[in-house]
């Protein structure tokens, strides 16, 4: 069995995740396809992850891909999490993950309606959705508040979990829009405010063509292995949210090849991908919270020393902004109120690393400009650096 060392895995991150300066991309779509998906729970992460990998970082270029030519698409998909994927990969992501998520969201909403006791049912929901889509089509783009003003049914309030400890009264608008978005019938348009804002407008959308689930999962697994392999079954199961049976079927259909890791574990790579990548030039990167390079695997020990986890993760297991050197996480960073990036190295990586990190911080400051970024999931080190 072919062996792939931890050092070779770190080299792959620099090359395949477009982090070495000579390998940076010319477009946001190239970045998204290299990483399969960009975490979008925090709106700023999409821009920070993309621009860290662009030769000419610019928030306007990312906005154009999201809202003008729509070559980047937001989808509720892997692990029931919001991702940005390329339009080219969207059908595979939808069929392998997003379709299941959307069906689950609809079942959950219908159940809440039935439990509320007002006589609201699937027919009422369908009529409300039709009215919402009609209002959105007439306006072209609207906020949730604007749609609620135009569609009286969206102002309905329901009691969820009645009679239980978590009982609460909630408006229906957010839940209806979430289901429509999950099904690809509407999409998030430009936000109210800058690119750091998560207060989106909505616009009508056309769902992507349907693919057969198992073939879509095989294609997605193959793309993922090319970006993140070698990786274990547990890594793929964690990243996708699939069951172990689905993971094994997808790997078999993708004709994945098993390899040996440092420490003796078994992992998988795409067929023909056993050979080592050529080492790129030394590189440093300042990556945002939930960046794909930090979130690609369940087991991250090959690029993150266990002793660094406590300051870099929040209590829910979300990783914050990280500083990288040649495929290893060596520290964290934040943005001060005056806009200046500030960082702390948690391990001594040498003078060359410190100089490269400083250059990356300057590059980040130049393109971010007047924008201020506070991660949605704040970690101990990020809080300390901004205190």
With a cut of 90, say whether residue 237 has pLDDT above it.
yes
pLDDT tens profile 300-323: 999 999 999 999 999 998 999 999
Kind of pairing, strands 3-4 and 257-261?
parallel
How would residue 130 be classed by pLDDT, with cut points 50, 70 and 90?
A: very high
* pLDDT, average across residues 193-209: 89
Whether the per-residue pLDDT at 209 is higher than 80: the answer is no
Q: How much of the chain, in percent, has pLDDT values that exceed 70?
A: 100
Residue 296, φ and ψ in degrees, nearest 5? -80, -15
> 155 pLDDT exceeds 80?
yes
| pLDDT on residue 285 | 98
- Residue 162: its pLDDT value, please? 86
- What is the structure's pLDDT at 246? 97
Calpha distance 14→34 (Å, rounded) = 12
- How far apart, in whole angstroms, are the C-alpha atoms of residue 184 and residue 77? 11
The pLDDT score that the predictor gives to residue 304 is 97
Average pLDDT of the residues of the chain = 95
Lowest mean pLDDT among 53-67, 141-155, 193-207: 193-207
What are 80-110's pLDDT values in tens digits?
999 999 999 999 999 999 999 999 999 999 9
How confident is residue 111, by pLDDT bands cut at 50, 70 and 90?
very high
Q: What pLDDT is attached to residue 248?
A: 97
Angstrom distances, CA of residue 1 to CA of 11, 249, 259, 261: 20, 21, 6, 10
Strands 82-86 and 38-39, how do they pair?
antiparallel
Convert the pLDDT of each residue in 25-44 to its tens digit: 999 999 999 999 999 999 99
pLDDT at position 1: 83
> How do the domains of the chain map onto residue ranges?
90-204
The 3-class secondary structure across the chain, one letter per residue, is CCEECHHHHHHHHHHHCCCCHHHCECCHHHHHHHHCCEECCCHHHHHHHHHCCECCCCHHHHHHHHHCCCCEEEEECHHHCEEEEECCCHHHHHHHHHHHHHHHHHHHHHHHHHHHCCCCCHHHHHHHHHHHHHHHHHHCCECHHHHHHHCHHHHCEEEECCCCCCCEEEECHHHHHHHHHHCCCEEEEEECCCCCCCCEEEEECCCCCCCCHHHHHHHHHHHHHHHHCCECHHHHHHHHCCCHHHHHHHHHHCCCEEEEECCCCEEEECCCCCCCCCCCCCCEEEECCCCHHHHCCCCCCCCCCHHHHHHHECCCCCECCEEEECCEEEEEEEECCCCCEEEEECCCCCHHHHHHHHHHHHHHHHHHCCCCCCCCCCCHHHHHHHC
Q: Are 290 and 82 spatial neighbours (Cβ–Cβ below 8 Å)? A: no
Band of residue 163 on the pLDDT scale cut at 50, 70, 90: confident
Q: How far apart are CA 294 and CA 64, in angstroms?
A: 26
The reply to whether the predicted model has a pTM over 0.85 is: yes
Predicted confidence band at 117 (pLDDT cuts at 50, 70, 90)? confident
Q: 181 pairs with which residues across the strands?
A: none
Report pLDDT for 349: 92
Question: Span 357-379, mean pLDDT?
Answer: 95
């Amino acid at each position: 069995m072919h062996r792939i060392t931890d050092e070779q895995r770190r080299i792959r991150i620099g090359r395949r995740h477009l982090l070495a300066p000579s390998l940076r991309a010319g477009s946001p779509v190239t970045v998204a396809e290299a990483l399969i998906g960009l975490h979008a729970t925090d709106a700023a992460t999409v821009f920070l992850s993309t621009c860290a990998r662009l030769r000419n970082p610019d928030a306007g270029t990312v906005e154009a891909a999201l809202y003008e030519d729509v070559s980047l698409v937001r989808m509720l998909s892997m692990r029931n999490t919001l991702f940005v994927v390329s339009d080219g990969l969207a059908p595979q992501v939808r069929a392998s993950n997003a379709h299941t998520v959307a069906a689950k969201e609809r079942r959950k909403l219908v159940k809440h309606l039935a439990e509320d006791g007002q006589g609201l049912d699937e027919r009422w929901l369908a009529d409300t959705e039709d009215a919402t889509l009609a209002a959105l089509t007439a306006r072209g783009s609207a906020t949730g508040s604007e749609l609620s003003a135009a569609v009286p049914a969206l102002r309905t309030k329901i009691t969820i979990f009645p009679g239980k400890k978590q009982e609460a009264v909630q408006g229906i608008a957010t839940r209806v829009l979430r289901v429509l978005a999950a099904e690809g019938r509407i999409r998030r348009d430009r936000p109210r405010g800058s690119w750091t804002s998560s207060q989106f407008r909505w616009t009508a959308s056309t769902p992507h063509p349907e693919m057969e689930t198992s073939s879509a999962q095989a294609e997605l697994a193959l793309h993922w292995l090319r970006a993140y392999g070698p990786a274990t079954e547990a890594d793929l199961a964690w990243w996708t949210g699939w069951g172990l049976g689905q993971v094994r079927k997808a790997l078999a259909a993708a004709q994945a090849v098993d390899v040996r890791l440092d420490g003796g574990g078994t992992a998988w790579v795409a067929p023909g991908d056993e050979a080592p990548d050529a080492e790129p030039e030394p590189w440093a990167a300042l990556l945002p919270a939930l960046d794909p390079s930090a979130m690609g695997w369940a087991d991250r020990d090959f690029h993150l020393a266990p002793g660094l986890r406590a300051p870099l993760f929040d209590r829910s297991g979300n990783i914050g902004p990280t500083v990288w050197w040649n495929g290893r996480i060596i520290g964290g960073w934040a943005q001060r109120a005056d806009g200046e990036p500030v960082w702390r190295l948690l391990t001594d990586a040498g003078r060359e690393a410190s100089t490269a990190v400083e250059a990356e911080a300057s590059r980040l400051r130049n393109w971010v400009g007047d924008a201020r970024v506070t991660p949605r999931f704040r970690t101990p080190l990020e809080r300390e650096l901004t205190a």
